[in-house]
Amino acid sequence: MTRRDFLGGAAAAGLAARAGAAESHPPLGAFVRAEGLRIHHVDRGAGPAVVLIHGASGNLRDFTFSMVERLVGMGLRVIAFDRPGLGFSDRAPARGWDPAVQARVLRAAAAALDVENPVVLGHSWGGAVAMAWALQAPQDTRGVLSLAGATHPWGEGVGMLYTLAASPIFSGVTRQAARLMIDADAPEKVVARIFRPNRVPEGYAAYIGVDLALRADAFRHNAEDLTHLDAALALQAPRYAGLPVPVEAIHGEADRTVWASVHAEPLAKQVAKGRLTLLPGVGHMPHHVEEAAVVAGVARLAGLG
């Protein structure tokens, strides 16, 4: 097989995966234009605004599984976005992997939806975007909730797999390898590793749509995000000390994906109005394992409790 044949086959497989994923897990919301990009979002409820930003390999379904309705029931307007380049949102053409660029695009999307002074919640990789959002617009950010958020540099790479996956040349190879591993291991087991040591809520693995992250573009964009994050946070984190907005860091003590000691603990100390909540026995998905604690954090920042 020639290189052209291989790349053509990978492209065809990517298109098939994209079509299949979109058919089984279609967009749940609407699209808004921001900087010329189509940004997928769910917008529900009325009241003080809360913006939800998902993590790596994810999409807004992580929040619509239960969190959105819980917050809407409290009298909040909840806007969940697919991050640019993931889910069904377009990627920014320049430095699309930069948390600051993603924050800028999502802020423009929020402005187009007439969202004012929101609480911004970012989970995992989304925590970097939430903090960038506050740095860019502290005067129009009610507060930030960093939920198992990646907010500080950790001084290491993310491995050769992601480096290769971030390359347009090798991304197809690594994506097919990932698909083979998931097909062999079952999506339920893949999701279980993200939740450990906690149990996955019933129905979550089928709902989230693992295939959405395996589409060709999304797979490469996710790898770009992960590959560049440490360096981006090395530039961003020193600026947190000047933030005037309240920042809550809620983190599982048993999280071995994003360590609280590297991220949540220094964040809460660094900002002027920081608050740290550590959840014993909880891993990387506190909003599904200890949803009440997360909802209480949102309520505090939104001025509801």
- Give tens-digit pLDDT for 94-131: 999 999 999 999 999 999 999 999 999 999 999 999 99
> Where do we find the tokens 């026995």?
281
Instruction: Note the pLDDT of residue 1.
Output: 27
Q: How many domains does the chain have?
A: 1
Q: In a 10 Å sphere around its CB, with 0-12 CB exposed, 13-18 middle and 19+ buried, how is residue 280 labelled?
A: exposed
Instruction: Note the pLDDT of residue 21.
Output: 63
* Tokens encoding 219: 């797979």
Whether residue 178 has pLDDT greater than 60 = no
* Tokens encoding 290: 């200890």
How far CA 35 is from CA of 40, 102, 107, 130, 133, in Å, comes to 13, 11, 10, 19, 16
Is the separation of the CB atoms in 146 and 127 below 8 Å? yes
Nearest to 147 by CA among 249, 5, 230, 66: 249
- CATH number for the domain spanning 135: value is 3.40.50.1820
Instruction: Note the pLDDT of residue 213.
Output: 81
* Choice among 53-57, 162-166, 254-258, 288-292 with the minimum mean pLDDT: 162-166
How far CA 134 is from CA of 91, 102, 237, in Å, comes to 21, 12, 12
Question: What are φ and ψ of residue 136, in 5° steps?
Answer: -80, -30
* Choice among 12-16, 111-115, 299-303 with the minimum mean pLDDT: 12-16
Residues in the chain: 305
- Which residue range is the domain that position 31 belongs to? 3-302
* Tokens encoding 230: 């440490």
How confident is the model over 225-236, as pLDDT tens digits? 999 999 999 999
Nearest to 29 by CA among 37, 38, 16, 17: 38
* Tokens encoding 113: 């939806």
Residues 114-137 as b/e (b if ≥16 CB within 10 A, e otherwise) read ebeebbbbbbbbbbbbbbbbbbeb
Please state whether the predicted TM-score (pTM) of the whole model is above 0.85: yes
Is the separation of the CB atoms in 245 and 143 below 8 Å? yes
Split at pLDDT 50, 70, 90, the class of 214 is confident
Is the separation of the CB atoms in 39 and 31 below 8 Å? yes
How confident is the model over 138-176, as pLDDT tens digits? 999 999 999 999 999 998 766 555 455 455 644 454 545
User: What average pLDDT does the segment 268-293 reach?
Assistant: 98
Nearest to 65 by CA among 288, 265, 234: 288
